[in-house]
A and B are shown apart, each in its own frame.
Chain A
């Protein structure tokens, strides 16, 4: 039988998506506690890679893996288009603009809005559509800090419960879009391994749709 290679994002997303893949017959028992190991091969010969969430798209695009899991937030920042045949209906969150509760965005000191974000594509697209000139300060985490110390006017960030924003005195002012985890598939594999992938995709779609979150 044709074997497949699956790139899984380490962390909470791994725990959320493992049951879905198990239902589709893709499983390795050590994945529940991967430790430091990065590559797992099960008895069918299917391989599982455990990588950083942001690294899933390049693994798929370059054919290092046939399929994988990535959030819409991460896919939106990746320059190449990848097939996204299943909305896995997990890891629900939203991309939003947030600012300090006591400041108005129209009331900024300079000509350009200073936006701190890990998602420059999302931020640029959003503000360009509104005709607002921005200056992006790319950060890799805890962007809530940037407006608090006055180096940015607002942030564009992924929000799940909104608790972190609240605890840091920020309020959501706009929602760009809602995000979920997606199944991503290599463009060539989708065709050359279609016989193997079609039933996997069908099962994943079914199980994902049946989930309520």
Chain B
């Protein structure tokens, strides 16, 4: 018997799942909250398509994302398409397509799902839900401050008490590496070794490159310069490369700005954090929570990306993994009681004037079908404009709409 015949009749592929009502409600609540905050900050929602031309979108993707994308063939023109693996590249593409003034800021927010192939049995999802923003147009430290302030405000609003935003500046490691003058292969290997905080690999590459003592000391320390903002000063003492020093000055300004705004307590500096050097060009950050062993999200400045779609402009953004944030929320706040119905009515009365009024005021009034268990939700009887409340084990009492709304406190 083939594998296909063995599939249970209700099976779904590995790495995808359904959100049942309680989880779906929490997901919707988080996404709505994020979109509302984005709107309050002037970020308008965009909804890019589910699939795009692979060769177009690839211009804005790192090779691993391209490799892990789900490709489908367009039967109209024979080209390959990819299920969206990354929203940032899509937003960069649509910003480039609009050909707008690169000095005017464009602020976009989104809530969307992305798709990625994963290793078998790695425990990773293949559909990932994200909320995020992109600020395109002008670059610079003010834009960095704006996006980081928005991120930290959002994390505070959604009730993650102990979150950490680990902040780095990819220009620092980039500058230090440039002064090493490594051949291209060795440079790529060293970048990966620094990113992986892999001390044995770093030592091996330094030895092969015959690097001087000061460079060795610097590169062996940089991945571990983690902590309070003072580590930026330590970073300064380890290099003379002008672009690396400029990156640290930039980082210091961002940190000072966030601290002055009262957002400093969630910050942690990690000077070895570069995320992906082929993508990020300035500040980079990841969002962490002590209760979770994986990052909740992250982002950074990517000034070279939009230009790859033909219309250069600076840009910075972040994305949060909705399911991971939900898990962290659950760990921080415990399970939230899901909202039950306030009242039930029979189908024939479900659109009567008083029932409409109750719903408009935010009450949840459902229908009870014959024989349906009502789970202790009181029944309302409508006679003309008159309402009668029938509670289990109590005699029917006349009530009015205003009293019910007031009682519900909505």
Contact = CB atoms under 8 A, between A and B. Distances in A.
A63 interface: yes
Band of interface residues on A:
20 to 34
Interface in A181-204: 182, 185-195, 198, 201
Interface in B214-247: 223-224, 226-227
Nearest to A205: B199
9 contacts: A79-B119, A83-B197, A84-B199, A84-B201, A186-B293, A190-B197, A191-B166, A198-B226, A201-B224
A80 B197 CA distance: 13
A66 B203 CA distance: 24
A180 interface: yes
A87 B195 CA distance: 16
A48 to B, nearest CB: 17
B289 interface: yes
Nearest to B227: A194
Contacts of A87: 199-200, 203
Interface string B83-112: 000000000000000000000000000000
Interface in B100-142: 119, 122-123
Contact of A83 (B166, B198, B268, B290): B198
A87 B203 CA distance: 10
Contacts of B257: none
A162 interface: no
B294 A63 contact: yes
A72 interface: yes
B295 interface: yes
Given A81-B195, A85-B223, A188 B295 contact: yes
A99 B288 CA distance: 48
Interface of B: 119, 122-123, 164, 166, 192, 195-201, 203, 223-224, 226-227, 268, 270, 286, 288-290, 292-295
B122, B203, B224, B290: most-surrounded residue (chain A CB, <10 A): B224
A180 to B, nearest CB: 7
Contacts of B289: 188, 192
B293 A189 contact: yes
B200 A182 contact: yes
A194 B199 contact: no
Contacts of A86: 199
A84 B288 contact: no
Nearest to B120: A79
A189 B227 CA distance: 13
Interface string A60-78: 0011101000001000000
A176 interface: no
B198, B201, B268, B270: most-surrounded residue (chain A CB, <10 A): B198
Interface in A51-109: 58, 62-64, 66, 72, 79-87
Contacts of B292: 63, 188
B293 A84 contact: no
- Listed from nearest, the 8 A-B pairs whose CB atoms lie closest are A63-B293, A87-B200, A83-B197, A84-B198, A192-B290, A79-B119, A191-B166, A81-B196
Nearest to A195: B227
A180 B226 contact: no
Given A62-B293, A63-B292, A190 B196 contact: no
Given A62-B123, A79-B122, A188-B294, A194 B198 contact: no
Interface in A91-130: none
Contacts of A63: 292-294
A84, A198, A201: most-surrounded residue (chain B CB, <10 A): A84
A64 B164 CA distance: 19
A84 B164 contact: no
A62 B152 CA distance: 25
Given A84-B199, A85-B197, A187 B226 contact: no
Nearest to B295: A188
Contacts of A182: 200
B164 A191 contact: yes
A3 to B, nearest CB: 11
Nearest to B198: A84
A86 B236 CA distance: 24
A82 to B, nearest CB: 7
B200 A180 contact: yes
A151 B195 CA distance: 40
A188 to B, nearest CB: 5
A62 B166 CA distance: 19
Contacts of A83: 196-198
A85 B227 contact: no
